[in-house]
Amino acid sequence: MDKKKTKFHIKDFTTGQLLYEIPQDLLDISSGQNPSQVINRFDFLDEERFKIVSEEGIEKILHIDSGFKEIAFNYIPLFKDIMEIEYVSYSYYRSRSIYYWPIVNLLQYTYQKYKSLYNLEGKQTFEQMNPLMFTIDIDYTDRSIAPFTFAHWSLIEQIQQGKLKIEELQENVVREIMYIAHPQGKEIKFHMPFISNLDGESPIHLCIKKQAFKNIDIMLNCLSLYPIDHHSRTIKDLYPDFLELKLHNFLDYIDSRIQQTQQLEQINKGALKENYPEIIIQDLWFDEKAFKQQIFTTGAVESRIKCEILDMPGIYHMKDQDFNSKAVRKLIEFNYPLVKEYILKKLFLPFCLFHLCFVISMNFIFENRHLNGFSQVYYPLLILNAIFATYFLSNEMKQLYSSFSNMQ
């Protein structure tokens, strides 16, 4: 840390030479906060990378030599639900005392671990994932943690075979089964932690294969209740299929993906710039200072604002150049009826009227404008053509301004 104990540094262990200053949006000490609570959320992976988790459970891997560039991120599910705020007492990544937890907490832990390995570390094959999902207690070698138990695995098989109904199980047993990660990476139909198996398939992928479209609609209705990054990356390739199927709950599901993080909730008041950008492309865990500089100004009246994030990764935005994506094409087709109506009413019909007035004015009225009867028609047509020209010119200026703003 620096002398003021407000910033964290990376120094050479032998010489004490300052190598890097960690940005404060990653490691920041609030007034009166214990520095150890900040350090407990940090872990070096190697000489070039480190892993860190925010106070609300957003973890990411960053590359030091690339200016702390984000390599990958993950939103940890149930971050404060298992053992409240763990990083207050010990290192979150190195000292979690998991071996004395109840079974349901251990299964929730394996769910967290699976999602982190899959999304954050990119371990998405059986060979990469399987050795890391089994943990041995180094103090008691006869005790281990696995992503499933024999008893729960047996119950799942009986349910799949129709020998047992879910209604016959106690509530606490059903809750434990929900967090089971099958050793072959296969999901069961009532599995609430929504993750892909090691073939890259989610429950909805399996429903599409089986043409169980009604089940997909029901799932979307349930998934709309879940927080950011719970399932969005798992189904990001399925948006075209949802559009093709014209699912009843899909539009409501899209609305539900506009959410807030704790970081965004705190940005609720400020003096907005006159032409502030309405859409900003940012990481899930972003540099708050740089973000505020984009939208706020000084010396103006402050107002209440609300910042939200669209939790639909992979969706096209104005800076992309790739229109070959199936998702992009389907979204364009989905919006085409509305775009077509706008083009007809706002552009095509006005242009036809403008063209007709211009042709009549130049070919029949202009040369005879000094003759009796023509002058009374010439000037109204001239004014009408000027109004049309101003209308189209203003549209072009708005488009140029919009394009310039997006480039910035």
351 and 383 belong to one structural domain: yes
Residue 187 has pLDDT above 60, yes or no: no
8 and 48 belong to one structural domain: yes
352 and 401 belong to one structural domain: yes
Residue 59 has pLDDT above 90, yes or no: yes
Give φ, ψ of 71 to 5 degrees.
-95, -45
Residue 136 has pLDDT above 70, yes or no: no
304 and 343 belong to one structural domain: no
**Stronger pLDDT, 152 or 326, i.e. the higher one:** 152
- Whether the model pTM is above 0.75: no
User: Does residue 92 lie within any of the structural domains?
Assistant: yes
**Residue 189: pLDDT band by 50, 70, 90 thresholds?**
very low
197, 187 in Cβ contact below 8 A? yes
**Residue 63: pLDDT band by 50, 70, 90 thresholds?**
very high
User: CA 285 to CA 22: how far, in whole Å?
Assistant: 15
**Stronger pLDDT, 145 or 173, i.e. the higher one:** 173
Residue 142 has pLDDT above 50, yes or no: yes
Which of 69-78, 201-210, 369-378 is the least confident region?
Answer: 369-378
Instruction: Give the mean pLDDT of 227-254.
Output: 86
300 and 351 belong to one structural domain: no
Domain residues for 279?
A: 259-310
Which of 1-10, 103-112, 184-193 is the least confident region?
Answer: 184-193
Which of 104-108, 251-255, 294-298, 321-325 is the least confident region?
Answer: 321-325
Residue 188 has pLDDT above 50, yes or no: no
User: Does residue 103 lie within any of the structural domains?
Assistant: no
33 and 91 belong to one structural domain: yes
Q: What is the pLDDT of residue 251?
A: 82
User: Does residue 243 lie within any of the structural domains?
Assistant: no
Residue 51 has pLDDT above 90, yes or no: yes
User: Does residue 123 lie within any of the structural domains?
Assistant: no
In the listed set 65, 97, 129, which residue is the last one of a domain according to the structure?
A: 97
305 and 334 belong to one structural domain: no
12 and 78 belong to one structural domain: yes
User: Does residue 203 lie within any of the structural domains?
Assistant: no
Q: What is the pLDDT of residue 37?
A: 82
User: Does residue 34 lie within any of the structural domains?
Assistant: yes
In the listed set 38, 72, 97, which residue is the last one of a domain according to the structure?
A: 97
Instruction: Give the mean pLDDT of 177-205.
Output: 67
Q: What is the pLDDT of residue 74?
A: 92
**Stronger pLDDT, 406 or 226, i.e. the higher one:** 226
User: CA 36 to CA 90: how far, in whole Å?
Assistant: 8
303 and 331 belong to one structural domain: no
300 and 380 belong to one structural domain: no
Q: What is the pLDDT of residue 185?
A: 47
Q: What is the pLDDT of residue 191?
A: 38
357-369: pLDDT as tens digits: 888 888 888 877 7
Residue 80 has pLDDT above 50, yes or no: yes
The total number of structural domains that make up the chain: 3
CB under 8 Å, gap of 24 or more: what pairs does 88-96 form? Answer: 88/37, 88/40, 89/40, 90/40, 91/39, 91/40, 91/43, 92/40, 92/41, 92/43, 92/53, 93/43, 93/51, 93/53, 94/43
The SS3 of residue 298 is coil
Residue 145 has pLDDT above 80, yes or no: no
353 and 300 belong to one structural domain: no
Q: What is the pLDDT of residue 407?
A: 54
* Beta bridge mates, 20: 10
330 and 302 belong to one structural domain: no
In the listed set 37, 66, 97, which residue is the last one of a domain according to the structure?
A: 97
User: CA 41 to CA 38: how far, in whole Å?
Assistant: 6
User: Does residue 240 lie within any of the structural domains?
Assistant: no
User: Does residue 77 lie within any of the structural domains?
Assistant: yes
